[in-house]
Amino acid sequence: MTTLADILHSVEGGTFPIPDLGVTVVSPPSARESCVMAFTGHVVVAADVDAAWVAERLPPEDMVEPVAPPFLTALAEATGRHAHCLDAMLLAPAIRDPAERAAAVAGLEEFTGHDHPRVVRALEFRDHVRVYGDPSGSVMTIGNGVAGRTECSVEVPESARGQGHGRRLAQAARALIPADAHIWAQVTPGNAASFRAFLAAGYRIVGSEILFL
């Protein structure tokens, strides 16, 4: 049986769901969250509902309704959860070259404390969270999120914005994972500065997601 982890692993390898305007229903990845993920021409619903329930509520070959408020509200009610915000999913491979890896993490410090607001937020969504910072006060977290995938997030203080710290930390995340791995990031579409930072750091947009918590 296909799982969400299988689908995400395939995307990491460059193989996406077939763009047939269809909807695939799989089990929720964990007790912590369910989700709706939209890829080009295909939507994945990972929740504790069956395919017949989904089909009754969605017109065939419609890529808008699965991510529109009526269906999302119905899914939230059916699962006893609430829908989180819409995020774009970004993906990047690890930096493999040893010299580039070393340069990417130069000057970073790993923290053990978990009282930073970005860290507290990361712990709500991820396991095995690691925290790094730079002299500007910017913070980057890495942890295991949806379906066990490796995810990162970046927080740059207002006083340090516009100086490239976000891009550098997003790139550093690629050097802090195994050389054969990939790393994901979720960015709210309206956060143009964050989009620019991650794109400049070598990430690409692969789809969108809405978590149900």
Q: What are phi and psi of 143, to 5 degrees?
A: -165, 180
Can you give the residue range of the structural domain that contains 122?
88-205
Residue 167 in any domain: the answer is yes
pLDDT above 80 (res 116)? no
Is residue 13's pLDDT more than 80?
A: yes
What is the pTM for the complete model shown? 0.93
Whether 39 and 130 share a structural domain: no
Q: Answer yes or no: do 156 and 119 share one domain.
A: yes
**Model pLDDT for residues 182-208, shown as the tens digit of each residue:** 999 999 999 999 999 999 999 999 999
Where is the domain boundary, 64, 87, 110?
Answer: 87
Query: Is 212 part of a structural domain of the chain?
Result: no
Q: What is the mean pLDDT of the chain?
A: 93
Residues 25 and 47 both lie in one domain: yes
Q: Are residues 194 and 131 in the same domain?
A: yes
Condensed to tens digits (0 to 9), the pLDDT of residues 24-47 reads 999 999 988 899 999 999 999 999
H, E, C per residue of the chain? CCCHHHHHHHHHCCCCCCCCCEEEEECCCCCCCEEEEEECCEEEEECCCCHHHHHHHCCCCCCCHHHCHHHHHHHHHHHCCCEEEEEEEEEEECCCCHHHHHHHHCCCEEECCCCCHHHHHHHHHCEEEEEEECCCCCEEEEEECHHHCEEEEEECCHHHCCCCHHHHHHHHHHHCCCCCCEEEEEECCCCHHHHHHHHHCCCEEEEEEEEEC
pLDDT per residue over 125-136, tens digit each?
A: 888 889 998 888
Amino acid in the structure at residue 162: G
In the predicted structure, residue 21 carries a pLDDT above the cut 90: yes
Q: Using 50, 70 and 90 to split pLDDT, how confident is the model at 49?
A: very high
Can you give the pLDDT at residue 94? Answer: 98
In the structure, what pLDDT confidence band is assigned to residue 165 with cuts at 50, 70 and 90? confident
**How many structural domains compose the chain?**
2
Domain boundary among 87, 112, 141: 87
